[in-house]
Amino acid sequence: MSEKIVSDYNGYDYKKEFWENVDREYEDQADRMAIRKLLPKRMDKFADIGGGYGRLANEYLKKAHKVYIFDYSKSELKQAKEIYGDKVETKAGDIYELPFKDNELDGLIMVRVTHHLKYMKKAMAELYRVLKPGGVAIIEVANKRTLPKMVRFVTRRSKVNPFDKKVANYKDISKDGFYNYHPKYVEEIFEKVGFKTEKVLSVSNFRSKRLKKLFGTEKLVRMENGAQQILAPIRFAPSIYYKLRKPEQ
């Protein structure tokens, strides 16, 4: 299993170091906005895959009868239990071998996880397996085809081609690197696995230190609300959200 792990967050205070110590209020609000638009109103069993300490839990706790937070990091899951107590059940393990039964879940989300996935198709097949027929998966994908990356490639400041479907592995970010995906690449995987795409949103469209300084978080969030649907066909935001459904059998 260790060779499959791209980033191990055990012992790392993701909540404090990544979200609280850095100005990411806009990104947090953009994620929440998308989830509210895509999640079903009522579910029985629901899982936040790679949910860590439960950053997004308040967006789904009232929508599901039973909530699981799954993550590889036991220290993150311990923090989730400290925050939410009996409102959630935590499960630790390998995303390529999820600790859920076939057809067990009515819904799931997976946000800020795909950039850690070395084996995208295998992970998507596991998500498909654990969903009930008719179940919904909300998947956020780290997009390789963003406008800044296009500009850097065209001006020869980057060798990563955002226009082809080859997976981008940014090894300079960490020891193992982070993965970014072309939308067509992941959409082909969804289809091969068996998912039906119901809706797509363009998320974090204005993720930029310069824009935050110029407009402020509140104004950017208002702009984001309209842009998520309008810019979805273009698919060049840093995050692309997909509402996927497992067909009824």
* pLDDT at 5 (0 to 100): 59
Distance (Å, whole) CA 218 – CA 223 = 9
Tokens coding 45: 């069993």
- SS3 for 31-63 is HHHHHHHHCCCCEEEEEEECCCCCCCHHHCHHH
Indicate yes or no: pTM above 0.85.
yes
* pLDDT at 3 (0 to 100): 46
β strands within 50-128, DSSP E: 64-71, 89-92, 105-110
CB 167 within 8 A of CB 102: no
* pLDDT at 2 (0 to 100): 40
* pLDDT at 95 (0 to 100): 95
Distance (Å, whole) CA 182 – CA 145 = 6
- Residue 7 has a CB neighbour count (10 Å cut-off) of 16
- Residue 25 has a CB neighbour count (10 Å cut-off) of 14
Indicate the length of the chain as a whole number.
Answer: 249
DSSP 124-141: HHHHHHHEEEEEEEEEEE
3-state SS, residue 216: coil
Tokens coding 18: 């990544």
State whether the Cα torsion 155-156-159-163 is positive or negative: positive
* pLDDT at 226 (0 to 100): 94
Domain ranges of the chain: 2-243
Per-residue pLDDT of the chain in tens (249 residues, 90 and over written 9): 344 556 788 888 899 999 999 999 999 999 999 999 999 999 999 999 999 999 999 999 999 999 999 999 999 999 999 999 999 999 999 999 999 999 999 999 999 999 999 899 999 999 999 999 999 999 999 999 998 899 999 999 998 899 999 999 876 555 566 899 999 999 999 999 999 999 999 999 999 999 999 999 999 999 999 999 999 999 989 999 999 999 997
Rounded to the nearest 5 degrees, what angle is found at the Cα of 202, between the Cα atoms of 198 and 208?
165
* pLDDT at 172 (0 to 100): 58
The topology (CATH level 3) of 2-243 is Rossmann fold (3.40.50)
Distance (Å, whole) CA 181 – CA 201 = 16
* pLDDT at 170 (0 to 100): 75
* pLDDT at 204 (0 to 100): 97
Selection from 136, 133, 78 nearest residue 109 by Cα: 136
β-partners of residue 170 are 178
